[in-house]
């Protein structure tokens, strides 16, 4: 059974804190993605990585950074959390290519107070 | 930012009704069009990944069609059941490994 595991299901952090969201996959897939989901806005891409140490900005990278030191792990970092980063964060991964589906983690609901 | 539009935003149908949703996407630089089902408290799961113009795919009572020249895809559900209640997402892959999602169609099937 394939697995995409996000480190926390629910998280509450204070404004200004540095926050790490971790995602680990056991599928050996090259591509990994971080999305956030907000009501009425759908899934918006924050960052993605197509290989170890490689990353590309998505549509809303401001206030975030990422790290991919190992193929199986992709971390999303909020350098200084703000209340407008309260959201559901979803990690996904895909094998490279045009006909491959994405597999999602269970999501992390982050609240910044 | 690529524009992927889904309609309607939400839909309420009665058990047994058939229904369909639309996804429109850019018609240039097409690699693939994905459909996902996202049930409450679960992770999104893939229904279909389509890569060829004219593709039609089917899984049980759910099917999808693809027109890459005009930039749209339809998802059909025949004889809706309460367990079909979910948000249906489409995602466009164009010219890269990125997947850009629409805002989804939330389907509620009333018993």
| pLDDT tens-digit readout, A45-99 | 999 999 998 999 999 999 999 999 999 999 999 999 999 999 999 999 999 887 8
Residue of chain A nearest B39, judged by CA positions: A106
Confidence at residue B45, expressed as pLDDT on a 0 to 100 scale: 95
CB of B39 within 8 A of CB of B10? no
Range list of β-strands (E), chain A:
4-6, 10-13, 19-25, 31-38, 42-51, 54-57, 64-70, 73-78, 87-94, 103-104, 108-112
**Cross-chain residue pair B101–A41, CB shorter than 8 Å:** no
**CA-to-CA separations, B31 to A11, A20, A35, A43, B51, in angstroms, rounded:** 36, 32, 20, 19, 6
pLDDT band at A4 (very low <50, low <70, confident <90, very high): very high
**Cross-chain residue pair B49–A96, CB shorter than 8 Å:** no
Q: What are the tens digits of pLDDT across the range A8-37?
A: 999 999 999 999 999 999 989 999 999 999
pLDDT band at A1 (very low <50, low <70, confident <90, very high): low
**Cross-chain residue pair A100–B49, CB shorter than 8 Å:** yes
Residues of chain B with a CB closer than 8 angstroms to some CB in chain A: 1, 31-32, 34, 36, 42-46, 49, 51, 89, 91, 93, 97-104
pLDDT in tens, chain B (111 residues): 678 999 999 999 999 999 999 999 998 889 999 999 999 889 999 999 999 999 999 999 999 999 999 999 999 999 999 999 999 999 999 888 889 999 999 999 999
Confidence at residue A2, expressed as pLDDT on a 0 to 100 scale: 67
Q: How many CB atoms lie within 10 A of CB B88?
A: 24
CB of B111 within 8 A of CB of B15? yes
């Amino acid at each position: 059974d394939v697995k995409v595991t996000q480190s926390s299901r629910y998280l509450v952090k204070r404004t200004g804190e540095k926050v790490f969201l971790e995602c680990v996959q056991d599928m050996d897939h090259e591509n990994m993605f971080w999305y956030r989901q907000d009501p009425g806005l759908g899934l918006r891409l924050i960052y993605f990585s197509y290989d170890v140490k490689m990353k590309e900005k998505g549509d809303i990278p401001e206030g975030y950074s990422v790290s991919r030191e190992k193929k199986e792990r992709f971390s999303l970092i909020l350098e200084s959390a703000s209340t407008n980063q309260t959201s559901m964060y979803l990690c996904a991964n895909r094998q490279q290519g045009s006909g491959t589906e994405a597999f999602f983690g269970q999501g992390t609901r982050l609240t910044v107070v | 930012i690529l524009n992927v539009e889904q309609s309607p935003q939400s839909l309420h149908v009665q058990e047994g009704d058939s229904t369909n949703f639309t996804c429109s996407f850019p018609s240039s630089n097409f690699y693939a069009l994905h459909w996902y089902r996202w049930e409450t408290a679960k992770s999104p799961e893939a229904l279909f990944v389509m890569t060829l113009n004219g593709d039609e795919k089917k899984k049980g009572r759910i099917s999808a069609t693809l027109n890459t020249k005009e930039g749209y895809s339809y998802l059909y559900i025949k004889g809706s059941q309460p367990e079909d209640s979910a948000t249906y997402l489409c995602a466009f892959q164009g010219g890269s490994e990125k997947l850009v999602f629409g805002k989804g169609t939330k389907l509620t099937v009333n018993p």
